Amino acid sequence: MNGKVYLVGSGPGSVGLLTQRGRDVIDAADVVLFDQLPGEDILSTLPARAEKIDCGKYGGKHTLEQDEIEALMVDRAQKGKMVVRLKGGDPFLFGRGGEELETVRKAGIPVEMVPGISSALAVPASVGIPLTHRKYASQVTILTGNEDPTKPEPALHWELLAKSHGTIVILMGVANLAKIAAVLVKNGKPDKTPVAIIERGLRKDRRVTAGTLATIAAVAKTAGVKPPAVIVIGDVVNMYDPALPDLIPFEG
């Protein structure tokens, strides 16, 4: 008899912001397939009795490829196990949760989606950057930074993004930051547009690096900015003040 698969979003890295439903299914799991993005605070709470399978990406190298991860999910569920696929943020926002959903359903296995608070929302909020504000922005665009904006046929419409007066949030964009800033300016975005990079979510070693489209690549290089990080572009970044306390405080 088949078990069941749960696609669980762990949120932005804080145990306190993991949903109650997420906590319940993790605690009851027979198998947990996890990435590194949930963070050690959450990963350290995985049940001792569960089989734990590391699916993370380290130094640019995947521990397991996507098809291997999906095969393991199906295999364990077909053996009657309760399987949790644990991801950072929300599984359906650049988490490949949609692909895993398709595979599990095709195998005839029951599946439940447990949403998580996306880092795209929580991480800027934690340092006092609202993604919308009546004075500054009435729309938000969330995009992946994994796509090279200079490739011949980009999937993203950079000209429209540059002309937008809303906030742009980029996930997984550190490696392409210089190219993204340059292509936005090239397409008409003012080079004085504020930019903030928030590294490491809600972890204790979180750091914010700020600049403008004209300066952010050099500032980030000097600061040694590394992923995981959330990049926010737009006038709402002006509300960030390093002298003020975090809006979502660290735990512990």
CATH number of the domain to which 222 belongs: 3.30.950.10
Residue type, 184: L
Q: Is residue 38 part of a domain?
A: yes
> How many domains does the chain divide into?
2
Residues 153 and 94 in one domain: no
Residues 145 and 194 in one domain: yes
Banded model confidence at residue 114, pLDDT cuts 50, 70, 90: very high
Per-residue model confidence (pLDDT) at position 55: 92
- 3-state helix, strand and coil shares in percent for the chain, rounded to the nearest 5: 30, 25, 45
Residues 161 and 64 in one domain: no
* Final residue of a structural domain among 117, 150, 167: 117
Q: Is residue 208 part of a domain?
A: yes
Q: Is residue 248 part of a domain?
A: no
Residues 134 and 150 in one domain: yes
- Give the residue with greater pLDDT, 15 vs 169: 169
Residues 125 and 229 in one domain: yes
pLDDT digits (tens, 9 = 90+) for 207-236: 999 999 999 999 999 999 999 899 999 999
Contact status, residue 187 vs residue 162, Cβ threshold 8 Å: yes
Q: What is the mean pLDDT of the chain?
A: 93
Residues 112 and 221 in one domain: no
Catalytic residues: 35, 57, 172
> What is the end-to-end Cα distance of the chain in Å, rounded?
42
Residue 145 C-alpha from the chain's centroid: 11
Residues 195 and 132 in one domain: yes
Residues 110 and 190 in one domain: no
Q: Is residue 159 part of a domain?
A: yes
pLDDT digits (tens, 9 = 90+) for 150-201: 778 878 999 999 999 999 999 999 999 999 999 999 999 999 999 999 998 8
* Final residue of a structural domain among 84, 102, 117: 117
pLDDT digits (tens, 9 = 90+) for 33-61: 999 888 888 999 999 999 999 998 765 66
Residues 131 and 143 in one domain: yes
Task: Give the pLDDT mean for 124-138.
Answer: 96
Residues 14 and 104 in one domain: yes
Residues 190 and 111 in one domain: no
Rounded CA-CA distance 197/207 in Å is 8
* Final residue of a structural domain among 69, 93, 117: 117
Contact status, residue 114 vs residue 32, Cβ threshold 8 Å: no
Q: Is residue 249 part of a domain?
A: no
- Containing domain of residue 71, as a range? 4-117
Task: Give the pLDDT mean for 4-9.
Answer: 98
